[in-house]
Structure 1
Amino acid sequence: MKTAFLKTMPRLGSLLAGVSAAAFLMVGGTGTALAAANCVKGDRKAPFTIGWANIYSVPTWMKQTEGTITAEVEELKKTGQVKDLMITDAQGNAQTQIQHIQSMIDANVDAIVVIAGSSNALDRVIADACDKGIAIVNFDSLVNTDKVTAKINTDSSQWGATAAKWMVDQLGGKGKIIIMNGPAGISVSDDRRKGAQPVLDANPGLQVITETNTDYNVAPAQEAMTSLLFANPEIDGVLSLGGALSAGSVMAFDRQGREQVPTTGENARQFLELWKEKGLKGWATMQPNWLGAFSVYTAVQALEGKDVKPKITVPLPVIDDSNVDSYLARADKFPADGYIYSDYDKALFDKLLAQ
């Protein structure tokens, strides 16, 4: 398996300095390994057909993630494990995504990999696919139903809590902050926000003056923050729960001539570059794009009869002043509006599945 760097498509591996392959061992799992992977049944033999039911492909993070999926499929084709990849794009509409998944069921694909456009709207169609013996691997934005082969994600609640704790430390527990969230109703966005709340409750000196929800893109985030800057003359920190959101915030502050404030974020190249350029007090973590490739690999392992746990949690790295330069040293390998994600390989995936 080769590390994939998206070259032809502009949100949607050795590991980066300070982030070893061992650091990405699975830290959580629910229950014990199943005698056979959930959902998988019937006469399914390699080479397999994989369905990739994407909720939307416009954000660069999603495009990069799809790049890891297509690259992984190409590697698995070489070994005779995969035959075809069916890709759909629901363009942000959960009902359209349901229709796409139904079309994959009708086509009797062997596995469906999905980022959910809604945590509950997809439950029925996902359960139906599972009942028909199709391997279902859900990553990043998760469904509520447990009728899946595996759910793969970082701990979004921990993401929000750790970012909030960093902000508390930066401001000494006192100050006025703005919270920038991703789209409402998307589990990864909602869970990050929920994770931050207990920390905020424990530190009442940190006043949330307002918060906003935008797509994970720089332009809408910058526009939203520009409006908030006009309405709020005093802002001490930006608790941003997404990398493109952070970049949009920094750009809005800069355009309005406002002094930059401590800002959290993600491994978005633009945010990390602005962090260094503006001398920002910053903190970030990473939702690895290779979760997509790992999901395909997991589906194939399940179809081949391997035990796969129903929940696989990939640990979150921390990006701060001690290691941000090591990320930026590889920036030219990623799109200007992309995410600098760590390398991955089969050995890493096998370690994650073995825990």
Structure 2
Amino acid sequence: MNLNVLENSKPHVSLLSGIAVAALLLATTSSTALAASNCIKGDRKAPYTIGWANIYSVPTWMKQTEGTITDEVAALKKEGLVKDLKITDAQGNAQTQIQQIQSMIDANVDAIIVEAGSSTALDRVISDACSKGIAVVNFDSLVDTDNLTAKINTDSNEWGQKAAQWMVDQLHGKGKIIIMNGPAGVSVSDDRRKGAQPVLDANKGLQVITETNTEYNVAPAQEAMTSLLFANPEIDGVLSLGGALSAGAVLAFDRQGRDPVPTTGENARQFLELWKQKGLKGWATMQPNWLGALSVYTAVQALQGKTVPHFVKVPLPVIDDSNIGGYLARADKFPADGYIYSDYDQALFDKLLAQ
């Protein structure tokens, strides 16, 4: 046996091994570049079909949000990136929403945008969509599972904390308040309430005399507050964790001829207008309707092989006496029972996705 031949062959074998490893790394890198975000396998091509799985469409906030989604889809269609948008409405039923999402999976849509009716019930079907290479983006009302492409939201916990702290400051740490929550079991409502609790615990002089859960509409909120006013002759503040809830509360006080009390809320047009008309002491923030449009944009970016954050945090603005006029100056551009939300564009979306 010629040992020199064996010795001379070693570099050759090493070279071949190096080439193989390099090829493997190149293939892996290429695959990663095409599938940089969770759920994405890199095998879907534009134009994409987008599914919008909504829990319910009746509240005006939802209608306005759907408007931002359809507008974003229209813009992406012009760019040749989106072909179709499929919309479902579960009418408040989480089991119906599961079935509708499953139908989207069976139809092999490219992306599913989810406004969840339950934080836990949708976990399995969302994971199933993800495993099939469907981009899943969940916004506003979030699910527990992280087996999706992205979650997009403001910090609901921070929302509750800031609202509660404002109330403490207004009442100098003493007084009787009512808390108005959105529907029980909806993550944004539950998280806002959880965020408020540490502030309330630290300020024992602030007495929560009662609290209620209602859907995010003025009429049921007004009815609920009317009942609470009859039962509670002394109320110093309303810690409302939703704009339509706040408007209903102010209207209930007004109808009973009672002076308004410090009230928190959000950017619901009716609440902001009542705030100004009644000389209310108010504080508000915003859950931007364009979270829906951002979700569509994020899904398309992911499908194109771009890396998107697993969680996109959208900063909470503050509305107070110093800037409420700016919001009301644009009120006529929004429905009377709608929300005055801030402007948005692709530059803003790119900035948020660059976090």
Q: What is the TM-score normalised by the length of structure 2?
A: 0.90
Corresponding residue for residue 170 of structure 1: 170
Corresponding residue for residue 273 of structure 2: 273
1:287, distance to aligned residue in structure 2 (A): 0.3
Offset from partner CA, 1:189-239 (integer Å, 9 cap, x none): 000000000000000000000000000000000000000000000000000
Question: Number of residues paired by the alignment?
Answer: 323
Secondary structure in 2 aligned to 1:91?
coil
1:84-233 superposed matches below 5 A: 84-233=84-233
Higher relative contact order (CA 8 A, sep 6+): 1
Secondary structure in 1 aligned to 2:308?
coil
1:309, distance to aligned residue in structure 2 (A): 1.2
1:34, distance to aligned residue in structure 2 (A): 11
1:35, distance to aligned residue in structure 2 (A): 7.0
Offset from partner CA, 1:310-334 (integer Å, 9 cap, x none): 1010000000000000000000000
Instruction: Tell me, yes or no, if structure 1 residue 303 matches structure 2 residue 308.
Output: no
Corresponding residue for residue 240 of structure 2: 240
User: Which whole-Å CA distance do the structure 1 matches of 2:164 and 2:172 have between them?
Assistant: 12
Corresponding residue for residue 60 of structure 2: 60
Structure number with larger C-alpha Rg:
2
Corresponding residue for residue 19 of structure 1: none
1:42-57 superposed matches below 5 A: 43-57=43-57
Q: Give % identity.
A: 86
User: Which whole-Å CA distance do the structure 2 matches of 1:152 and 1:43 have between them?
Assistant: 24
1:13-24 superposed matches below 5 A: none
User: Which whole-Å CA distance do the structure 2 matches of 1:301 and 1:353 have between them?
Assistant: 10
1:163, distance to aligned residue in structure 2 (A): 0.2
Root mean square deviation of aligned Cα: 1.1
1:41, distance to aligned residue in structure 2 (A): 1.3
Structure 2 regions of 5+ residues with no counterpart? 1-32
Corresponding residue for residue 23 of structure 2: none
Secondary structure in 1 aligned to 2:279?
coil
Letter in 1 for 2:257: G
Q: Is the 1:34–1:308 Cα contact (8 Å) retained in structure 2?
A: no
User: Which whole-Å CA distance do the structure 1 matches of 2:227 and 2:309 have between them?
Assistant: 45
Offset from partner CA, 1:71-107 (integer Å, 9 cap, x none): 0000000000000000000000000000000000000
User: Which whole-Å CA distance do the structure 2 matches of 1:229 and 1:57 have between them?
Assistant: 30
Q: What is the TM-score normalised by the length of structure 1?
A: 0.90
The 1:159/1:34 distance shift into structure 2, 3 A limit, reads: farther
Q: Is the 2:34–2:305 Cα contact (8 Å) retained in structure 1?
A: no
Instruction: Tell me, yes or no, if structure 1 residue 319 matches structure 2 residue 319.
Output: yes
1:42, distance to aligned residue in structure 2 (A): 5.0
Q: Is the 2:34–2:41 Cα contact (8 Å) retained in structure 1?
A: no
User: Which whole-Å CA distance do the structure 2 matches of 1:354 and 1:280 have between them?
Assistant: 39
Corresponding residue for residue 70 of structure 1: 70
The 1:262/1:126 distance shift into structure 2, 3 A limit, reads: same
User: Which whole-Å CA distance do the structure 2 matches of 1:283 and 1:317 have between them?
Assistant: 11
User: Which whole-Å CA distance do the structure 2 matches of 1:215 and 1:41 have between them?
Assistant: 39
The 1:225/1:34 distance shift into structure 2, 3 A limit, reads: farther
Q: Is the 1:135–1:148 Cα contact (8 Å) retained in structure 2?
A: yes
Letter in 2 for 1:149: T
User: Which whole-Å CA distance do the structure 1 matches of 2:305 and 2:258 have between them?
Assistant: 58
Q: Is the 1:34–1:309 Cα contact (8 Å) retained in structure 2?
A: no
Secondary structure in 2 aligned to 1:259?
coil
Secondary structure in 2 aligned to 1:46?
coil
1:284, distance to aligned residue in structure 2 (A): 0.1
